[in-house]
């Protein structure tokens, strides 16, 4: 079921330069008092395509890293367009998951695949801290495991999708880390739980959604006491064109992940090629930052995907997100455009929610 955004909310929309479109259904609160930041992460998805837009967004992220210390880049999926890693390179067929169906079997060395560097890593060369690359932590997107249509090279779809997932996990570089199809990363007061959200849409490649739920249940046990975010390519709620994906089964699977995770602060996603901030029916904040290399200038955000979800902000303007966490667990999130300018900010106490506020100067 889709919930139509009230026509009155559209009065808050504004058209800016070119085809940029901004929607702010809620008034902005005052800018919060500044607080010392102990952890800062760039959030960007759908970045892995060699486009002019990618270059502009990459430069904006590089400028941000020169101005502020950035600890991590979180990239939830669609890492290498159009189809993910090459499954027919010599030696690719030997890539196999271990008994956990999550990490690559020990001893495997993947073949050199130039697409990782060309489409993803090289554009991030300017995002540094103290002269070193800011580490990038990734999850799988639908394009990373594509095995149909023009992406069907190499054999049976199930086999190719699984192999592409394996090659993504096996690849390592200073600007690419995917510890498994799912993973946990603790940084100061924050826990990030990365999941293979392709399984929210349907099981694939011999992987089981039930196993994903079991993983989240264990990974989220500390989330009653600490700040936790799900990192997933597919959003738990959205107002973009992929809202059509939100079938009853999709929404039921999202609900199972939410129930397993418990009191998370937010869901950091991609998939929709624009910037969005929503409040999920269960109460967590949803941030979609997926205009890293491709945009959708015609989107007007006329509906949301989940009954009870609220759209707080959306724009077709390209850019990226920045998550900042203070020592006591209070946190904030802002969207920056392809010129590095703040376009929307929100601020939250340790347990949320993140309320839209005027961006600080």
Please report the domains of the chain, with CATH numbers, ordered by start residue.
Answer: 31-357 (3.60.21.10)
Q: Does the structure show a pLDDT above 80 at 257?
A: yes
| Cα(233)–Cα(206) distance, integer angstroms | 19
Q: Does the structure show a pLDDT above 50 at 14?
A: no
Give residue 153's pLDDT. Answer: 83
Q: Does the structure show a pLDDT above 50 at 18?
A: no
Band of residue 95 on the pLDDT scale cut at 50, 70, 90:
very high
- pLDDT tens per residue, range 153-199: 878 999 999 999 999 999 999 999 999 999 999 999 999 999 999 99
- pLDDT tens per residue, range 260-271: 999 999 999 999
Higher local confidence (pLDDT), 207 or 5: 207
Q: Does the structure show a pLDDT above 90 at 19?
A: no
- pLDDT tens per residue, range 50-87: 999 999 999 999 999 999 999 999 999 999 999 999 99
Continuous segment of H or E residues that includes residue 278: strand 275-279
The pTM is what? 0.95
| Residues ≥6 apart with Cβ < 8 Å to 80 | 48, 115, 116, 119, 120, 143, 144, 168
* Look-up of token digits 């130039």: 114
| Cα(271)–Cα(232) distance, integer angstroms | 9
Burial class from Cβ neighbours inside 10 Å (0-12, 13-18, 19+) for residue 249 reads exposed
Q: Which two tokens stand for residue 112?
A: 């050199």
Burial class from Cβ neighbours inside 10 Å (0-12, 13-18, 19+) for residue 156 reads exposed
């Amino acid at each position: 079921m889709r919930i139509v955004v009230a026509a009155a909310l559209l009065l808050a929309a504004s058209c800016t330069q070119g085809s940029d479109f901004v929607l702010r259904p809620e008034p902005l609160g005052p800018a919060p008092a500044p607080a010392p930041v102990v952890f800062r992460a760039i959030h960007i998805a759908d970045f892995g395509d060699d486009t002019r837009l990618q270059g502009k967004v990459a430069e904006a992220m590089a400028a941000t890293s020169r101005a502020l210390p950035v600890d991590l880049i979180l990239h939830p999926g669609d890492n290498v367009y159009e189809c993910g890693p090459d499954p027919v390179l010599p030696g690719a067929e030997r890539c196999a998951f271990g008994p956990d169906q999550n990490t690559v079997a020990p001893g495997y060395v993947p073949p050199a695949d130039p697409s990782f560097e060309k489409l993803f890593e090289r554009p991030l060369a300017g995002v540094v801290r103290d002269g070193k690359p800011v580490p990038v932590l990734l999850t799988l997107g639908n394009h990373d495991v594509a095995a149909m249509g023009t992406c069907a090279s190499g054999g049976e779809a199930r086999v190719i999708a699984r192999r592409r997932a394996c090659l993504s996990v096996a690849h390592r570089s200073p600007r690419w880390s995917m510890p498994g199809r799912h993973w946990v990363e603790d940084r100061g007061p924050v826990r990030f739980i990365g999941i293979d959200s392709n399984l929210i849409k349907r099981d694939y490649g011999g992987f089981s959604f039930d196993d994903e739920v079991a993983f989240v249940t264990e990974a989220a046990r500390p989330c009653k006491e600490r700040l936790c975010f799900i990192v997933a390519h597919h959003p738990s709620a959205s107002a973009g064109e992929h809202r059509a994906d939100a079938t009853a089964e999709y929404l039921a699977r999202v609900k199972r992940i939410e129930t397993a995770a418990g009191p998370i602060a937010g869901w950091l996603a991609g998939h929709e090629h624009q910037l969005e901030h929503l409040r999920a029916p269960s109460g967590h904040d949803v941030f979609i930052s997926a205009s890293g290399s491709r945009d959708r200038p015609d989107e007007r955000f006329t509906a949301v995907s989940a009954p009870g979800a609220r759209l707080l902000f959306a724009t077709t303007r390209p850019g990226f997100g920045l998550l900042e966490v203070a020592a006591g667990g209070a946190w904030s999130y802002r969207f920056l455009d392809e010129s590095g300018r703040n376009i929307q900010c929100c601020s939250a106490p340790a347990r949320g929610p993140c309320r839209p506020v005027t961006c600080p100067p």
